[in-house]
Amino acid sequence: MVYVNGAGFTKIGLLWEYSLEDLAVEAALKALEDSEVKSVDAIVVGNMTSGVMNSQENLGAVIADSLGMAGVPSIKVEAACGSGGAAIMWAAISIMSGLFDSALVIGVEKMTDVTDIPDQTSALATAANARYESSLGASFPSLNALIMREYMKEHGLSEEDFAHLPILMHKNAVDAKHAQLRFRISLEDYLKSPYISEPLRLLDSSPIGDGAAALVISSRRADESVEISGFGAATDVVSICQRDDLTRLRSVELAAKRALKMAHLEIRDIDLVQIHDAFSVMGYLNLEALGLVERGKAHIRVEGGDFNRDGWLPVNPEGGLKARGHPVGATGVYQVAEIYLQLSDRAGRCQVEGAETAIAVNIGGTGSNASVHILRRC
């Protein structure tokens, strides 16, 4: 068994005064304090762009040193925007193997060290295929815009149909103290927001932000432990032009299937969901890949309130990537940290009452790398 015994995170935002190491250390110390332990057997860091944006690789050793833990084995795991989820999974595997008894998992990203938007966009585009996509000028928003356009065509949707998810996410984020965008938006706000890459609008998109989240996981159960009862990972073709179906997240389907099998659960047994809504269309595709909605019908279910915090199946009760924020390599750890607080009844105004099980989806690229974790109240 693998248990989450503590969590900590920073507020997400444009944190100019903090370094990459500052953020990682703050989150890590909070998680260690929450777990009431002083040492761990290993450190696993999830990060995407430290080399490009912060001129810092060898991040595992740098963070171990910054924590005063030189001597502890520490490594960086990179899977684009899915780096945080990948770090959790590989840390859990190391504990299940018996090699380590405990591990500190840190997801961290300092995106504002690069101040020019074109440079930030280029750094994020490294999650795409360098040879066939980014080298030809395709940015991450433009690739998601192509997927969105195809999804609209396939299901006969209007741009307005994509507004419902960001509206819900901003509503949820108002109650999350660590969220980056703590304000509500309306349908009118959405439709007035500028295009980034038509039909993709500014309010379809998660923001640039800095942040770190951390977990203490262990083979030993504590008083407020939450069990990691299943996990799975999968990849897909990286270039979207080479996929059989542009509007299907096969990696998420496979990863979720593996996670549910490991946990001995069905998707109908899940009480709370964390999806990877870096863009509105990706949020809809996540819900479809998990088998929670029919293809092309996600907007109807979101608008109808099924995924509200008090709805049939709460989704992203803290605001998701869209409004809680998306410091890319840290996102997967934020998701599981939020679930840990939910399942230990410590989520404050974001609390989902009665939740016993939860699932988190963290993806890299346009769905080319995915990890899924299932957590259960002990």
Task: Find tokens 């951390």 and name the residue.
Answer: 214
Span between the terminal Cα atoms of the chain, in Å: 11
- For residues 26 and 127, what is the distance between their CA atoms, to the nearest angstrom? 27
CA 3 to chain centre: 19
- For residues 320 and 178, what is the distance between their CA atoms, to the nearest angstrom? 11
Three-state secondary structure call for residue 242: helix
- For residues 345 and 377, what is the distance between their CA atoms, to the nearest angstrom? 10
Three-state secondary structure call for residue 58: coil
For 200, 210, 251, 336, the CA distances from 215, given in Å and listed in that order, are: 34, 18, 25, 8
- For residues 243 and 224, what is the distance between their CA atoms, to the nearest angstrom? 43
Q: b/e for 234-263, b at 16 or more Cβ within 10 A? A: bbbebbbeebeebbbbbbbbbbbbbbbeeb
- For residues 142 and 256, what is the distance between their CA atoms, to the nearest angstrom? 27
- For residues 58 and 248, what is the distance between their CA atoms, to the nearest angstrom? 35
Q: If phi over 0 gives left and psi between -120 and 50 gives alpha, with beta otherwise, what is residue 71?
A: left
Q: Facing residues of 200 across strands?
A: 197
Residue 118, φ and ψ in degrees, nearest 5 = -60, -35
Contact between residue 48 and residue 109 where contact means Cβ atoms under 8 Å apart: yes
Task: Find tokens 């379809």 and name the residue.
Answer: 204
Catalytic residue annotation? 81, 326
Q: What Rg value do the Cα atoms of the chain yield, rounded?
A: 19
- For residues 226 and 2, what is the distance between their CA atoms, to the nearest angstrom? 9
Answer whether the bond into residue 194 is a cis peptide, omega within 30°.
no
- For residues 57 and 64, what is the distance between their CA atoms, to the nearest angstrom? 13
